[in-house]
Amino acid sequence: MKDPTFWILARASGLTAYVLLTLSMLAGLTVKKRPFGRALRAATATDAHRFLSLLALGAIGLHGLALTLDQTVHIGLAALLVPGLAAYRPLATGLGVLAAELAVLIVVSFALRKRIGARAWRRLHWATYSVFAVATVHGLAAGTDTARGWTFALYVAAVFSVVAATAWRALTARTPPKGADRVPHPHRSVTV
């Protein structure tokens, strides 16, 4: 009988990475629009977003390492770098590799923001939606726990929360600030 330690670690770290990715997306969506009012400063939301992104990358790295050490699916180091090389569900595993590589690129872009410019950085940052979508498909198609009710519910809740937060951000993006719609009273004098 094979030792299941690395197989369990691979599954747990994969799900952890997905939860952290979801939380990072939600934190990123609250950076400019603060749903908790002034109590949560933009800098705090940005720090939380970056920290969650780094934690997600760490969990992704642990997921990959555990898969290479596991004897159940036999995924080599090259399969973690080149999409489609894994014998185990090659398409689904390859999508996971693509999502991980794009996530690394996006996290590295935080440090390069001044060099590449805000516009290019923002465009690259839109790719986080692709990372999230591809990671979702990867988890659903490659994950062995997907058939379990709680795991499937986790994916549904994650997708729903990111879609809802994105819709909220889009709907509130063009809202004028408080008081901007007020017209000065015609009988009041304005001093300069």
**Average pLDDT of every residue of the chain:** 85
Model pTM score: 0.84
67-88 tens-digit pLDDT: 999 888 888 899 999 998 998 8
Determine contact, residues 52/24, Cβ cutoff 8 Å.
yes
pLDDT at 47: 86
pLDDT at 174: 63
Q: How many Å apart are CA 109 and CA 30, to the nearest integer?
A: 19
Domain residue spans of the chain? 5-172
Percent of the chain with pLDDT over 90: 51
6-60 tens-digit pLDDT: 989 999 999 999 999 999 999 988 887 655 555 556 677 788 889 999 999 999 9
- Neighbour-count burial for 62-98, b at 16+ CB within 10 Å, e otherwise: bbbbbbbebeebebeeebbeebebbeebeebbbbbbb
